[in-house]
Amino acid sequence: MGLFNIFKQNEEDKNRSHIKNLLEVAIADGNLDDDEFNLILKIAGSYDISEEEVKNIRSNPGSISFSPPSSYSAKVKLLEDLVKVMIVDKTIDENEVKICKDLAIRLNIAPVIVDELIQEGVK
């Protein structure tokens, strides 16, 4: 496998991991509502991930390994997307917040950023 293909595969893994994280937050309250799913599909589309692949990730989350973004801006983008998914249904569940904060810690970012993004309503 050439260097370009390795880089491309690595990016695709990070993108699928991003979508898996969004799905985990969306179902943390026990319900994946239409607004959450539609937002995830929109975000997935920006990463060239089809609706079918999103459904596949949802059905088989164990097949996707956590692959953290490498840059600080990509890490913040992931947290922003997570909070967008969390607030789109107008209900913030404590399990959703916990997942977001735990992920912030895994990304080496202070979890208070999640509170700040929620307060801002993520533009």
Architecture per CATH, 3-120: Orthogonal Bundle (1.10)
Q: What is the pLDDT of residue 10?
A: 81
Q: What is the average pLDDT score of the chain?
A: 91
Residue 9 DSSP class: H
Q: Find the helix packing angle between 72-87 and 3-27, rounded to 10°.
A: 30
- Picking from 92, 107, 39, 25, the residue whose alpha carbon sits closest to that of residue 115 is 92
pLDDT at 11: 82
Instruction: Decide which of 58 and 122 is more confident.
Output: 58
pLDDT at 8: 53
Q: How is the chain split among helix, strand and coil, in percent rounded to 5?
A: 70, 0, 30
Domain range annotation of the chain = 3-120
Considering only residues 66 and 122, tell me which one the structure prediction assigns the higher pLDDT: 66
In the numeric block, the tokens 């595969």 are attached to 9
1-54 pLDDT, tens digit each: 565 455 455 888 999 999 999 999 999 989 899 999 999 999 999 999 999 999
pLDDT score of 104 more than 80: yes
Rg (CA), the chain: 14
User: What are the backbone dihedrals phi and psi of residue 118, each rounded to the nearest 5 degrees, phi first?
Assistant: -65, -45
